[in-house]
Structure 1
Amino acid sequence: LAPAVLYSGLSAAQHTFVWTKDGIPLTATGGSITVTEPGRYSVTAVNRTTGCEGIASATVGVSSIATATATVGLDFHNNQTITVSVTGGSGIYEYQLDNGAFQDEPYFTNVTEGEHIVIVKDKQGCGESDPIYVYSLDYPRFFTPNADTYNDTWNIKGLRDQPESEIYIFDRYGKIITLIKPSGAGWDGMYNGSPLPATDYWFTLSYRSSDGQMKEFKAHFSLKR
């Protein structure tokens, strides 16, 4: 327990003080006391002139920073969530995502795709955790290959560090349009040198999930012109 100072708020020149811990008298006689052990502390103050007596109490508890982990919900889910688990601590904690406001709930919803930073902080001022880095995996719902440098290609950039990942793109009839890799430039909406029409296209992705297993995911996206 870090040292904590308890103040009576009264003048030692005008009052006498008797401090106790869990009902046991202490040797301190001043208007404040520094404590290093948890317990129920009380002070009885007596006015030297009037003899009036007052009693105040405070509970000092033990708190410590936790060991925290964060996990992301289902890959590619429409409402991505991050859940924080705390072990080994004895305090009351609050949670922060990406330098936002701290909150009491150990989970975050509607998380965007990409890397995020989670911080766990002890409400009693006993410190905060090291940054916890987590990655939320998602895919673009559309792209606009109109050469304006915005959304001109379609890819799943969150998997660019997985050279074994592959994405097959199909038209609505199941015809293979192209094979791309997340580590590459992506699909530009072309087929054999010609632009394909604005419509929905389907894809099959093979990737390595956060549990280390190779998985397959299928969905569709829109090409807009």
Structure 2
Amino acid sequence: SVEDESLEFCEDTTMILTADLNNVSYEWSTGATTKEITVGEPGTYTVLLTDVNGCSATKTIELEQIDIPRIDTIISDGPSIIVSTSNDGDFEFSLDGFNFQTSSIFEAVEGGLYTIYVQDTSDCGVVAQSFFHLVIPKFFTPNGDSVNDVYEPEGLEVFNNVEFSIFNRYGKLLKFGNSNSSSWDGSFQGNQMPEDDYWFVIKADTTQFKGHFSLKR
């Protein structure tokens, strides 16, 4: 008897399809007349099997491709790292290549240089991409209670040369620092700056980061 099959194979590999019957002639939808064929494209394959008495049966094989993950973007969102893929699948994500999670969001990650790994759960291969995670606070509260008193991006120590600039909403430079001083206490020339939105520009080696944050009192 002939049984239809549904099979899966990994992207960029080949699959051997077999009719699995002896003493018959084979006529595949690809034109092949062998018992087995090697294919590398997903789709529907059929093979017409005919025995010596002229009795025929058709076997259908549905071949589905499992895609290798494609990393689209990796961004820092506060202390979180968010990974997006440009294709869908049963993907898992990791920061070390060993411990994988189904969520594409890594929470409460210290700033620094990381390698992001993404793999399909079917063992079709893993892709990796290096990523610099700059933890940028969305607000700070310089009120002297020792909690979030200083605006200080985290993770810049991996760079050789850092320039750190803070501007108010009118573009006035309030703070300029370097690798040794990339923080702001909320003051300018001894005066406490008002509660407002402020802008930062960080030049770290050949990379530039821009954004805004809130000063809350």
- Which of 53, 65, 70 pairs up with 1:66? 70
Residue 128 to residue 113, structure 1, CA distance change in 2 (3 Å): same
- Which of 29, 35, 40 pairs up with 2:39? 35
- Which of 108, 112, 115 pairs up with 1:114? 112
Structure 1 partner of 2:83: 84
If the length of structure 1 is used for normalisation, what is the TM-score? 0.49
Cα contact 2:73–2:83 (8 A) shared by 1: yes
RMSD: 4.8
- Superimposed CA distance per residue, residues 138-196 of structure 1 (whole angstroms, 9 cap, x where no aligned partner): 68xxxxxxxxxxxxxxx8652344643379xxxxxxxxxxx99673399xxxxxxxxxx
Query: Is 1:165 matched with 2:170?
Result: no
Which sections of structure 1, spanning at least 5 residues, go unmatched? 140-154, 168-178, 187-201, 221-225
Query: Is 1:5 matched with 2:16?
Result: yes
Query: Is 1:183 matched with 2:179?
Result: yes
If the length of structure 2 is used for normalisation, what is the TM-score? 0.50
Cα contact 1:19–1:41 (8 A) shared by 2: no
Aligned-residue identity in percent: 18
Alpha-carbon distance between aligned partners in 2 of 1:62 and 1:216, rounded to the nearest angstrom:
42
Structure 2 partner of 1:191: none
Query: Is 1:18 matched with 2:35?
Result: no
- Superimposed CA distance per residue, residues 187-209 of structure 1 (whole angstroms, 9 cap, x where no aligned partner): xxxxxxxxxxxxxxx94498535
Alpha-carbon deviation of 1:71?
0.6
Aligned residues: 166
Residue 124 to residue 33, structure 1, CA distance change in 2 (3 Å): farther
Give the match's secondary structure for 1:92: coil
Alpha-carbon distance between aligned partners in 2 of 1:124 and 1:163, rounded to the nearest angstrom:
42
Q: Aligned partner of 1:29: which letter?
A: T
Cα contact 1:69–1:86 (8 A) shared by 2: yes
- Which of 198, 201, 210 pairs up with 1:208? 201
Higher-strand-fraction structure: 2
Cα contact 1:94–1:102 (8 A) shared by 2: no
Alpha-carbon distance between aligned partners in 2 of 1:110 and 1:46, rounded to the nearest angstrom:
63
Structure 1 partner of 2:145: none
Aligned ranges 1:136-155 → 2 under 5 Å: 136-137=134-135
Which sections of structure 2, spanning at least 5 residues, go unmatched? 1-11, 138-151, 167-174, 188-198
Alpha-carbon distance between aligned partners in 1 of 2:127 and 2:165, rounded to the nearest angstrom:
36
